[in-house]
């Protein structure tokens, strides 16, 4: 049984809106003058991650739970602390910043020390500041009458072709009705994306069919490392970056040898999200396994994009709260209509609604800017949902009505189905071995198909390693998963759920010299494929109380086709999965709704999306 969103005739959509359960939101010495401050002894409690907060790899590919082994956290001499002061008391941003310096001066003793300490002044959308302080100094400032909340600079992590047809948003010439065409495909909307940057040269950000940039736009494109205002156009109308908060708390600062110190995307996540929310039409997709001539586009293909790079290619993708808050602050000022924020922390363990993005998101929503964020990739674990504040539109991920079954045939005519994107020639009956030992692969894999169980404490065996050691295919058996890992071109890597893989393994082990045959995959689309909540998508209820439903809605977030940044890979597009990918799907629809109903508040848009579902029951042939 599934619950799908169905809108009225003015915006006919079809989302998976699954009810997951209920969620509740809700001593150093002070220096004087310019004398250098002495650092307090390292405090292990600051910036230490709990097991649940350990950042996962941003690829969203492995959704099995691996116990986190804590390591002693690096503690900077002067950690970054964030002070929230509420609404601005001055219209002039400079006066707001000056008031922040005066607060810092009350503890540090001089304006020069205050300026040196300050990392950011939040003076557009709300009032607050981030500063490098000794813990004792931060505690003293906490009691200042203007300080409402003090929080540490936590680390956050970053959590298509068929998608829009699946949702009923057809873009063919014959589909002249519906929300997409009623809003001229989002023309005039400005979507802000807080993420890892953008690769502006991608065809997804061409501006051939765009009119002028809206006059109300106050943002800009900055000039920095391998990025200039010339890299922007009528599609990408804003690009900024924020790194000071993260660098201040890292043992080794990020530099231009490992990242672009600019809005340019090194990680790829931001480019994927931006293209999904508002990518232009791109034809002739090159990904093996998808129909030739496929067209890729975003949810609001004629909307403008503004990128606020606050996440960096560190440990798979990391963002600091201080940098994310600054991105929110400037996005509110610049005039975005919607914010797509595919990042999050850990599930709440106490009544800390102020952490992560909740406070700046509240100010954005109060100014009429909907904020769309992911439910997280905590999998089916109880109370793993993140971004649970009631004013945030929290998105879970579902599979599409698309499957890539790959047939494996044994010499005794038994058949087994896996999933892959393999389109090469049939692999004739070949010997298969099963191993989790990587030490002698070059001696045992040559000319064979390798069967590997990717569970428990074993090191995953990747397709490129098997191919490098002479193997001709990989059968990767894992806990049930909706995600796929990229394979080398024309190299078969088949993914099997544990139950099917175990049965295949049993047949191979109990039959002497049994060989297998691997056929190219088939692509099945439509009614014969079951859609469901992705196994990696986080579940409710909140770790607090079952008062408010979260996630609010679910959207396709598995095997979405997006562009990727230039690398040594063979194609310029690939499929990605996770609630990070589902978030821009909803954000694009939100942008269309804002154009169709300009007087609707963020709450009205959220209500329209989350409360207009219908019960849908189906028994499908294929369920990923």
Q: Which residues are catalytic?
A: 195, 269, 580
Cα–Cα distance, 256 to 379 (Å, whole number): 35
Cα–Cα distance, 105 to 112 (Å, whole number): 8
The neighbour count for residue 372, using CB atoms within 10 Å, is 34
**Rg (Cα) of the chain, in Å, rounded?**
25
Strand partners, 434: 451
The neighbour count for residue 598, using CB atoms within 10 Å, is 9
Nearest Cα to Cα of residue 22 among 550, 391, 491: 550
249 by DSSP, 3-state: which? coil
Cα–Cα distance, 60 to 538 (Å, whole number): 12
**576 phi, psi to nearest 5 deg:** -130, 160
E-strand spans in 425-523?
427-434, 449-453, 473-478, 493-497, 515-518
Contact 286, 573 (CB under 8 A): yes
Nearest Cα to Cα of residue 392 among 236, 549, 621, 251: 549
Cα–Cα distance, 434 to 400 (Å, whole number): 32
DSSP category for residue 50: P
Checking DSSP bridges between strand 338-341 and strand 371-374, what pairing results, if any? Answer: parallel
Q: Is 62 left (phi over 0), alpha (psi -120 to 50) or beta?
A: beta
431 by DSSP, 3-state: which? strand
Strands of the sheet with 155-158, listed across from one edge: 311-312, 318-320, 155-158, 343-344
Cβ burial, residue 143 (10 Å; 0-12/13-18/19+): exposed
Cβ partners under 8 Å of residue 91, min gap 6: none
Cα–Cα distance, 460 to 61 (Å, whole number): 12
Checking DSSP bridges between strand 393-398 and strand 371-374, what pairing results, if any? Answer: parallel
Q: Which two tokens stand for residue 149?
A: 């909340």
User: Residue 537: how many CA atoms within 13 Å on its side-chain side?
Assistant: 34
């Amino acid at each position: 049984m599934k619950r799908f969103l169905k809108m009225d005739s003015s915006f006919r959509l079809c989302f998976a809106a699954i009810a997951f359960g209920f969620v509740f939101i809700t001593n150093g010495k002070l220096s004087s003058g310019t004398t250098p401050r002495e650092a307090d002894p390292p405090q292990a409690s600051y910036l230490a991650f709990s097991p649940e907060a350990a950042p996962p790899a941003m690829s969203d590919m492995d959704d099995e739970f691996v116990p986190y082994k804590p390591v002693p956290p690096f503690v900077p001499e002067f950690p970054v602390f964030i002070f929230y002061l509420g609404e601005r008391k001055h219209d002039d941003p400079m006066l707001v910043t000056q008031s922040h310096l005066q607060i810092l001066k009350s503890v540090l003793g001089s304006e020069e020390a205050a300026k040196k300490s300050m990392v950011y002044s939040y003076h557009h959308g709300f009032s607050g500041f981030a500063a490098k302080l000794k813990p004792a100094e931060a505690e003293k400032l906490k009691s200042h009458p203007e300080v409402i909340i003090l929080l540490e600079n936590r680390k956050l992590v970053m959590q298509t072709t068929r998608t829009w047809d699946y949702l009923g948003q057809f873009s063919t010439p014959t589909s002249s009705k519906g929300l997409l065409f009623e809003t001229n495909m989002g023309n005039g909307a400005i979507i802000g994306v807080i993420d890892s940057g953008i690769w502006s040269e991608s065809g997804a950000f061409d501006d051939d069919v765009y009119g002028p940039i809206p006059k109300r736009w106050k943002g800009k494109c900055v000039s920095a490392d391998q990025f200039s205002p010339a890299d922007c156009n009528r599609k990408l109308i804003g690009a900024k970056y924020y790194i000071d908060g993260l660098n201040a708390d890292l043992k080794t600062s990020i530099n231009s040898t490992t990242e672009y110190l600019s809005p340019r995307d090194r990680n790829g996540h931001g480019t994927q999200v931006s293209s999904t929310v508002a990518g232009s039409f791109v034809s002739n997709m090159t990904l093996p396994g998808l129909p030739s001539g496929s067209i890729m586009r975003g949810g609001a293909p004629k909307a403008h994009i503004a990128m606020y790079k606050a996440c960096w290619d560190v440990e798979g993708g990391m963002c600091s709260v201080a940098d994310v808050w600054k991105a929110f602050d400037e996005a509110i000022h610049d005039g975005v209509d919607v914010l797509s924020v595919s990042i999050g922390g850990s599930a709440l363990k106490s009544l800390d609604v102020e952490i992560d993005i909740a406070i700046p998101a509240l100010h954005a929503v109060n100014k009429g800017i909907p904020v769309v964020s992911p439910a997280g990739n905590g999998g089916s674990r109880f109370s793993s949902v993140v971004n649970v504040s009631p004013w945030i539109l929290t998105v879970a991920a579902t599979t599409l009505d698309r499957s890539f079954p790959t047939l494996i045939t044994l010499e005794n005519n038994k058949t087994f189905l896996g999933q892959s994107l393999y389109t090469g020639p049939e692999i004739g009956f070949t010997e298969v071995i099963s191993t989790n030992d990587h030490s002698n692969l070059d001696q045992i894999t040559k000319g064979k198909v390798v069967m590997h169980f990717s569970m428990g404490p074993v090191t995953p065996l990747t397709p490129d390693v098997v191919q490098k050691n002479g193997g001709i295919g990989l059968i990767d058996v894992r806990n049930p998963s909706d995600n796929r890992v990229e394979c080398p071109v024309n190299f078969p890597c088949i993914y099997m759920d544990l139950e099917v893989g175990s049965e295949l393994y049993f047949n191979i082990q109990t039959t002497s010299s049994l060989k297998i045959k691997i056929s190219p995959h088939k692509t099945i689309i439509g009614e014969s494929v079951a859609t469901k909540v992705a196994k990696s998508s986080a579940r409710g209820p909140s770790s607090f109380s079952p008062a408010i439903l979260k996630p609010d809605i679910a959207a396709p977030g598995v095997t979405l086709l997006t562009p990727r940044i230039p690398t040594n890979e063979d194609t310029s597009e690939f499929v990605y999965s996770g609630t990070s990918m589902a978030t821009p799907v909803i954000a694009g629809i939100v942008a269309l709704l804002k154009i169709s109903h300009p007087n609707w508040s963020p709450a009205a848009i959220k209500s329209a999306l989350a409360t207009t579902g219908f019960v849908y029951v189906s028994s499908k042939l294929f369920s990923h």
